[in-house]
């Protein structure tokens, strides 16, 4: 007897633990992992019915797999969505969404300061297939409206932005999108549904790199597109044919990661907040970028839109690149890597890594200075993080 837990619970914490369990086989208590690429049928007639979609059920793991389904149901529940399609990576999620919902000649309006590969995908790859993108300043709501053309189909934003933690007002941009019959997609990677639920603010689609906070422990790649059943049916048609599917093993890791998502996000946000306040008081720091600080220009919006300010803290050190590199090289604990969303804190110098391919002038115009550092705060103690940053700060 299949005991579906979801209809009987509704709180985030409970959904994170209890959604998507299918005990139809062995009454297992913990979520089972189904490593099978295909599924057998009782008869030729059933095979035909499954292939045609007349009968629901598993066919082949490029389409679906029970472990992937469980993860999809759990993430959909946490975002307050009807449906979710899991993908092999965050980039695969963005690709699948655009390939499924847009066509040649369509136009995208996107916020500036997107994740580097997303910018490349929009600017250099979709453009080859006749889908053009206009980039607008993330916080400038009227700019989105001005950039809309008759052929615009999608507004795509990321909030808070990387590395300067600029926010997009999701409700205001959703209003712009819907007045023009355009879809709004939000990359919710930096907040996760534990801190921000874009669909509840009016967005149509949520994108995830599950590689980051959803796994949360730096183990696997994964991604997801989340939204209405009608839109996800379209994304599914692309996925089952083109194949950027999530593996059941990775789905299982992410499924279990979701159980501790809120606890991790809260702990990491609280440490990030304390670290940002401490950094603001350090004589070697010029400026701190963190939505939780009253000095952040969109602090009020952050309080409205997010439960907590997140775990990404950026700051300018005095002395430019030389001082920034010295600080990085003096750390003994924090990992020097551009990854984020891990229990292990990481530090990166955007101007020479993630934003290194952008010209120095363009970087300066974006506000990514030579002295800018980004710390993705993990689960280590505040005191050890402060001590590690202090080694090279002074």
Nearest 5°: the CA angle 366, 369, 372 is 115
Q: Which of 34, 58, 115, 289: binder of ligand PLP (CB under 6 A)?
A: 115
**CB count in 10 Å sphere of residue 281:** 8
Which one of the spans 1-9, 114-122, 143-151, 370-378 is the region binding ligand PLP (CB under 6 A)? 114-122
118 or 331, CB closer to ligand PLP?
Answer: 118
Check: CB of residue 71 under 8 Å from CB of residue 87: no
Question: Of these, 211, 345, 346, 369, which contacts ligand PLP (CB under 6 A)?
Answer: 211
Smaller CB separation from ligand PLP, 69 or 188? 188
Q: Is residue 214 at the binding interface for ligand PLP, with CB under 6 A as the rule?
A: no
Q: Is 196 in the site for ligand PLP (CB under 6 A)?
A: no
Beta carbons of 312 and 272 less than 8 angstroms apart: yes
Among 208-216, 288-296, 316-324, 350-358, which window interacts with ligand PLP (CB under 6 A)? Answer: 208-216
Site for ligand PLP in 150-169 (CB under 6 A): 158
Using the rule CB under 6 A, is 312 a contact of ligand PLP? no
DSSP character for 121? I
Nearer to ligand PLP, 187 or 234 (CB): 187
Nearest Cα to 155, choosing from 303, 138, 124? 138
Both tokens of 273, joined, read 């907040």
Which residue's structure tokens are 């008869």? Answer: 43
- The only residue of 68, 86, 91, 168 in contact with ligand PLP, by rule CB under 6 A: 91
Q: b vs e for 368-378, b when ≥16 Cβ sit within 10 Å of the residue's Cβ?
A: bbbbbbbbbbb
Contacting residue, 189, 194, 272, 366, with ligand PLP by CB under 6 A: 189
Among 71, 221, 288, 327, binds ligand PLP (CB under 6 A): 221
Question: Which single residue is written with the structure tokens 């009227």?
Answer: 142
Q: What's the min distance (Å) between Cβ of 90 and ligand PLP?
A: 2
Within 125-228, residue ranges assigned H as helices are: 141-147, 170-179, 192-195
Minimum CB separation from ligand PLP for residue 370, in Å?
A: 23
19, 69, 196, 209: which one binds ligand PLP (CB under 6 A): 209
d(CA 142, CA 280): 32
Tokens linked to 286: 């010029």
Q: Name the one residue in this structure whose structure tokens are 């600029």.
A: 166
- Answer yes or no whether residue 78 interacts with ligand PLP by CB under 6 A: no
Contacts with ligand PLP, residue ranges (CB under 6 A) = 89-91, 115, 117-118, 158, 187, 189, 209, 211-212, 221, 223
């Amino acid at each position: 007897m299949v005991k579906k837990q979801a209809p009987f619970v509704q709180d985030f914490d409970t959904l994170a633990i209890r959604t998507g369990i299918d005990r139809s086989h062995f009454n297992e208590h913990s979520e089972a992992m189904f490593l099978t690429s295909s599924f057998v049928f009782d008869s030729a007639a059933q095979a035909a019915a499954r292939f045609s979609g007349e009968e629901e059920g598993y066919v082949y793991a490029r389409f679906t797999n029970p472990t992937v389904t469980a993860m999809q149901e759990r993430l959909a529940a946490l975002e307050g969505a009807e449906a979710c399609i899991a993908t092999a990576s965050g980039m695969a999620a963005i690709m699948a969404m655009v390939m499924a919902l847009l066509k040649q000649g369509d136009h995208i309006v996107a916020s500036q300061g997107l994740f580097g590969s997303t910018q490349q995908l929009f600017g250099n790859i979709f453009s080859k297939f006749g889908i053009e993108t206009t980039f607008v300043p993330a916080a400038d709501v009227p700019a989105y409206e001005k950039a809309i053309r008759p052929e615009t189909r999608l507004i795509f934003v990321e909030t808070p932005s990387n590395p300067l933690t600029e926010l997009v007002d999701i409700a205001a941009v959703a209003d712009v999108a819907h007045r023009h019959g355009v879809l709004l997609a939000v990359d919710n990677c930096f907040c996760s549904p534990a801190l921000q639920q874009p669909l509840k603010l009016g967005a149509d689609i949520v994108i995830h790199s599950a590689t980051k906070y959803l796994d949360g422990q730096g183990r696997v790649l994964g991604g997801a597109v989340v939204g209405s059943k009608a839109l996800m049916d379209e994304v599914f048609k692309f996925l089952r044919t083109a194949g950027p599917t999530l593996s059941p093993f990775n789905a299982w890791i992410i499924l279990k990661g979701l159980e501790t998502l809120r606890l991790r996000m809260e702990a990491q946000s609280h440490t990030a907040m304390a670290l940002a306040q401490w950094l603001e008081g350090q004589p070697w720091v010029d400026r701190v970028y963190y939505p939780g600080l009253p000095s952040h220009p969109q602090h009020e919006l952050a309080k409205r839109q997010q439960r907590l300010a997140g775990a990404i803290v950026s700051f300018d050190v005095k002395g430019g690149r030389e001082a920034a590199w010295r600080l990085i090289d003096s750390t003994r604990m924090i990992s020097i890597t551009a990854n984020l969303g891990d229990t292990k804190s990481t530090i990166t110098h955007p101007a020479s890594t993630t934003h290194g391919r952008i010209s120095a002038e363009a970087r300066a115009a974006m506000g990514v200075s030579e002295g800018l550092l980004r710390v993705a705060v993990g689960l280590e103690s505040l005191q050890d993080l402060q001590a590690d940053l202090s080694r090279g700060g002074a």
